[in-house]
Amino acid sequence: MTQGYIHQMKRLMDWEATRTAPPEGFPHLPDMPAGRYTSQEYYDLEQQYLWKKSWLFAAHIDEVPEPGCFMKWEQVGDPIIIVHGMDGEMRAFYNTCRHRGAPVVTEKNGKAPRLMCGYHNWTYKTDGTLVGVPEKQDFGPDFDFSCRSLIPVKCEMLGNLIFVNFD
């Protein structure tokens, strides 16, 4: 950060701490009924129409700092895994094995060159592709690994911040 930027931020914080009314030209906002904060119906609508369709801050790079690091993220209901890929790319996937739907990751965070479901040991690369199926001969000759990768969730970085989007 430059000194000019730091000075500007301090000036804005001082202004914010001393103001006694909304800024000039700020639109009048109606009162919000208290029920909007406690209603299950509004909560469900927010989940469906707001949070699932917005870019959401999920983590800082320090939480998954190196290739192979991963973390669970469950803040909006659908459990996902945020993975720092072995190729350096940041990715997110639904935390659901494509075999029987068990969680691929059960610990809060960790580091591994591959992700392995503990239920039947299906193994995925950090880019989400399925690479290991024990006793794959039991699935027949037409078993196609390529259509059983982890399901991706949109994931982008802005500086050191990681954002996800379910839409």
Domain chopping of the chain, boundaries = 56-165
In angstroms, the CA 60 to CA 163 distance is: 9
What type of residue sits at position 119? Y
CA 69, chain centre distance (Å) = 14
Question: Do 51 and 93 contact (CB within 8 A), yes or no?
Answer: no
Average pLDDT of 140-163? Answer: 92
Kindly indicate whether the domain formed by 56-165 is annotated with CATH number 3.30.479.10: no
Portion of the chain with pLDDT greater than 70, in percent: 99
Portion of the chain with pLDDT greater than 90, in percent: 63
Model-level pTM greater than 0.85? Answer: no
Average pLDDT of 115-135? Answer: 92
Give residue 52's pLDDT. Answer: 85
- How many CB atoms sit inside 10 A of residue 55's CB? 14
Exposed, middle or buried by CB within 10 Å (0-12, 13-18, 19+), for 66? exposed
Q: pLDDT band at 65, cuts 50/70/90?
A: very high
Residue-wise pLDDT tens digits, 77-111: 889 999 999 999 999 999 999 998 899 999 999 99
Residue listed under structure tokens 């990768």: 149
* DSSP designation for 95: S
